[in-house]
Amino acid sequence: MPGLATALLALIRRDARLVARHSSEVAHPVMFFVIVVALFPFGVGSDPVLLRTIGPGIIWVGALLATLLALDALFRSDFDDGTLEQMALSGHPLAVLILGKVFVHWCATGLPLLVATPLLGLFLGMSGELQLTLLAALALGTPTLSLIGSVGTALTVGIRRSGLLLTLLVLPLYVPVLIFGASVVLAADAGLPTAGHFYILGAMMVLALALAPLAASAALRISLN
């Protein structure tokens, strides 16, 4: 049996190849994110002060919804073709293998959101300093969203058309990330200290990194039984 590191790298390479083969599906959440953020000025007006004020919240809500949109694909195909059962029976810690899948999922969904954010920040009239703060917050927050979402996805993977149930499960857990992610940019715009917000976002990411794979592995074993 191959070692854990070999199995993890093989899983990451496999998922990366699948992402490359289905690049159109990966583009859907990013396009949704761009469309949601771009439509807000048409609804609230073109006042630059107003857009700069609500811009961080708009971008964070768009990122949260785009992450929700992409969550169902995290385990669905592997559940349908039996790959998850093989992972559970492989003898390797399932939590570590899930962490590898979440990493690829974040690279395919969260990372493109970070790339698109500077352009959308300019569209909303945000300064360069605020955009850097927003990017740093998203870099801490979007992995947390993917990790938390993996738990909800693992619980509902055996249920067809589970999108609404998945949303109800994970959305309350997303709210703290949304609050601190948006408020850190508002604090920077007001000239207030932002270190506390970043510490909380970092603590939430570390906590999710430590606990979410364990919870997701337990939920997957329940779903597979």
Enclosing domain of residue 33:
4-224
Give the per-residue pLDDT at 39. Answer: 86
Q: Which two tokens stand for residue 70?
A: 């992409």
Reading the chain (225 residues) residue by residue, the pLDDT tens digits are 567 788 888 888 988 888 888 777 778 888 889 898 888 888 877 778 888 888 888 899 999 999 888 888 788 778 777 788 888 887 788 889 999 999 998 998 889 899 989 888 888 888 888 889 999 999 999 999 999 999 988 888 877 776 778 888 888 999 999 999 989 988 988 888 989 999 999 999 999 999 999 999 998 888 777
Give the per-residue pLDDT at 146. Answer: 92
Residue type, 21: R
Q: Which two tokens stand for residue 123?
A: 């569209």
Total domain count, the chain: 1
